[in-house]
């Protein structure tokens, strides 16, 4: 397949300063898109991503600070977007947060924090982007979910619930915004190695993940970023309201034992 061409497209990636978000910014820029890199705390990392993009590709790139769970900050971020890029064609709702806590020990404040970032934030950003896309003739909204929108996990009741809500939000948005020529899809990554979790994965055991994941390897940020580029492109022009699981079939491997008899070699 030819290199995806997103030349002239205007993109906002939330949580774009590191990990999956940073790689999405780089990938979309490599396809010719101008990129606004949202961050909450990591200004230096966001500026580094912007600098990398400017050096490597002939596109515009800017950092912008905002807490996506706060409506006023989201509105201000989109004002910056209007000023810097003149509008938006592609929104990638990537910003997210999790914490591992036993459900009986979870405080209300932590439940609300995780729900607000992972679910309220994408709603607020999609609303602002949708208004602009409606006026400009269309666009694409891509929500970065998780296999835990369907697969429960101990210690992540709040996170799993938020991602399940994000999956349904994507479907509802796809219905309501299709009439405005706006496509909405979700991407649900599985086990993806980033600079933030690399040491944790190593402590837990890379070999365990390689055994559990049918494709035999942990995913990379590039696996997710390339999927985003595809769904943002005209190659995916008839994909709307869908959930793409980027996990090497990890979520389908619930049953770990293998009852199959030994294979016989045919002659």
Average pLDDT over residues 189-205: 86
For residue 187, is pLDDT > 90?
yes
For residue 136, is pLDDT > 60?
yes
User: pTM for the whole thing?
Assistant: 0.94
pLDDT, tens only, 6-47: 999 999 999 999 999 999 999 999 999 999 999 999 999 999
For residue 206, is pLDDT > 90?
no
Is there a catalytic annotation at residue 159? yes
Reported as a pLDDT band with limits 50, 70 and 90, residue 266 is: low
Domains and CATH numbers, the chain: 10-247 (3.40.50.720)
Q: Check residue 20 and give its pLDDT.
A: 97
Q: Check residue 196 and give its pLDDT.
A: 77
Catalytic residue, from 57, 159, 245, 250: name it.
159
- Concatenated DSSP letters of the chain: -PPP--TT-EEEETT-SSHHHHHHHHHHHHTT-EEEEEESS-HHHHHHHHHHHHHHSSS-EEEEE--TTSHHHHHHHHHHHHHHHSS-SEEEE---------GGG--HHHHHHHHIIIIIHHHHHHHHHHHHHHHHT-EEEEEE--GGGTS--TT-HHHHHHHHHHHHHHHHHHHHHGGGTEEEEEEEE-SEE-TTTHHHHHHH-HHHHHHHSTTSS-EEHHHHHHHHHHHHSGGGTT--S-EEEESTTGGG-------PPPPPPP-
Q: Check residue 1 and give its pLDDT.
A: 58
Average pLDDT over residues 78-83: 98
pLDDT, tens only, 101-135: 999 999 999 999 999 999 999 999 999 999 999 99
């Amino acid at each position: 397949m030819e290199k995806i061409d997103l030349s002239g497209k205007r993109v906002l990636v939330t949580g774009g300063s590191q990990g999956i978000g940073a790689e999405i910014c780089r990938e979309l820029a490599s396809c010719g898109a101008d990129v606004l890199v949202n961050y909450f705390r990591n200004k230096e990392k966001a500026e580094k991503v912007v600098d990398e993009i400017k050096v490597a590709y002939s596109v515009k790139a800017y950092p912008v600070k905002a807490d996506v769970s706060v409506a006023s900050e989201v509105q201000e971020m989109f004002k910056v977007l209007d000023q810097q890029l003149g509008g938006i064609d592609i929104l990638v709702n990537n910003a997210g947060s999790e914490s591992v806590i036993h459900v009986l020990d979870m405080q209300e404040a932590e439940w609300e924090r995780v729900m607000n970032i992972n679910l309220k934030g994408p709603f607020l950003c999609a609303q602002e982007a949708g208004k602009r896309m409606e006026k400009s003739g269309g666009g694409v909204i891509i929500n970065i979910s998780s296999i835990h929108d369907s697969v429960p996990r101990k210690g992540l009741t709040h996170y799993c619930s938020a991602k399940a809500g994000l999956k349904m939000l994507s479907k509802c948005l796809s219905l309501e915004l299709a009439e405005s020529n706006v496509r909405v899809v979700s991407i649900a990554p599985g086990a993806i190695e980033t600079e933030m979790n690399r040491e944790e994965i190593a402590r837990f055991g890379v070999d365990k993940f390689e055994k559990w994941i049918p494709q035999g390897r942990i995913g990379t940020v590039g696996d997710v970023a390339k999927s985003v580029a595809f769904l943002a492109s005209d190659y995916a022009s008839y994909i709307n309201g869908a959930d793409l699981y980027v996990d090497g079939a990890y979520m389908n491997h619930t049953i770990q034992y293998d009852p199959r008899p030994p294979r016989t070699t045919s002659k």
